[in-house]
Amino acid sequence: MKARIAVLPGDGIGPEVIAEGVRCLRVLAERGGHDLTLIERPFGGAAIDLTGEPLPPETLTTCQSADAVLLGAIGGPKWSAPEAKVRPEQGLLELRRALGVYANLRPVKVHPALLGASTLKPEVLTGVDLLFVRELTGGIYFGEKRRDATAASDLCTYTVTEIERIVRVAAHLAQQRRGKLVSIDKSNVLETSRLWREVATRIVRSEFPQVSLEHMLVDAAAMHLIRRPRDFDVLVTENMFGDILTDEASMLAGSLGLLPSASLGEGRRGLYEPIHGSAPDIAGQGIANPYGTVLSVALLLRHSLGLTAEAEALEQAVSAAIDAGALTPDLAPSGPAVSTRAAGEAVLDRLTR
């Protein structure tokens, strides 16, 4: 396998967790005889400091010519003043749009050794294994924005085509899992959600008759994710709802730092990143959880490079490291805890045995 991978360390803890993901990627490439070229570029707040732009042209060109993009995290107080005209998040939205990665996959699986890491009861969490499919390039985040001295507005728009393609992705994944799909909307209030529900029903009934489809309002979904998370298999929803619900779902696993994501489009190129933010409050301390990034590397190997065996080996190595007690402070607040580097070493140790 020969591939080019754009590496965007980003801001805050981004460079720290990316370093561990890259180490794992290099070890697997060497072990499998794969020729992977990793190209690092500035992105987010770091890019604003260097160039004045969150997504410099050179960074975008590198990402567009790569087979996959690995991203750490972006943002921080330095660039988040309300009056700021240039923000790191603008670069992320533009990158998603430019790459056409409209389907964001966020798996949530509770590791048995971490049942105590969540604030929920272990009997609620045992056996939880769900997959969020979030529409990523439409909705209110990308709609027209207006603001004056007395009011502001953000336009939420969805087309039939946008809904059809994300529902097809989700239904296809449900076919490969337990055959259960929940579509989340707010159709009792929003016109976009009424369209969403109509299109989702038509697509699943006509193209995926073997998939069981349930519609759920977003407020009910937020409640049932905590009340009965084991009942969910695949969940599909629009951009903003997915952003909020997947952060909530991360608490099932015990920490935001554990969860990976893959953003995919029509081709094999994808954008891979942990779902956590840049966590500027702990940046530079060497205590950030790298597992979400390492598991994002596993998704990269599977979806963009087609290296399923390597992806499974990496996922098993992370699981084994957690079983061995290599837990960063977010997972072991009462201690003993390990550093970011030590957690990465625990994974590498199991990869090289």
Q: Which residues pair with 40 in a beta bridge?
A: 7
Least Cα distance to 104 among 268, 260, 223, 315 occurs for 260
Handedness of CA 166, 167, 169, 170 (dihedral sign): positive
Max Cα distance, the chain (Å): 63
- Annotated active-site residue 186? The verdict is yes
Encode 314-324: b = buried (16+ Cβ within 10 Å), e = exposed: bbebbbbbbee
In the DSSP assignment, the letter for residue 215 is: E
Our answer to whether residue 109 is catalytic in this structure is: no
Which DSSP string corresponds to 265-300? -SSS-EEE--SS---TTTTTSS----HHHHHHHHHH
Instruction: Identify whether 247 is a catalytic site residue.
Output: yes
Tell me if 271 sits within 8 A of 102, measured CB to CB: no
Q: Is 334 exposed, middle or buried (0-12, 13-18, 19+ CB in 10 A)?
A: exposed
Q: Which residue is catalytic, options 67, 185, 243, 330?
A: 243
Contacts of 337 (CB under 8 A, 6+ apart): 287, 327, 328, 329, 331
The catalytic position among 49, 219, 231, 281 is 219
Q: Find the catalytic residue in 185, 186, 233, 272.
A: 186
Is 102 among the residues known to form the active site?
Answer: no
Round to whole Å and give the CA distance between 337 and 325: 8
Q: Which of 141, 158, 272, 291 is the catalytic position? A: 141
- Which is the catalytic residue, given 78, 109, 129, 247? 247
209 CB-contact burial (10 Å; exposed 0-12 / middle 13-18 / buried 19+): exposed
Buried b (16+ CB within 10 A) or exposed e, 267-300: eebbbbbbbbbbbbebbeeebbbbbbbbbbbbbb
Catalytic residues: 141, 186, 219, 243, 247
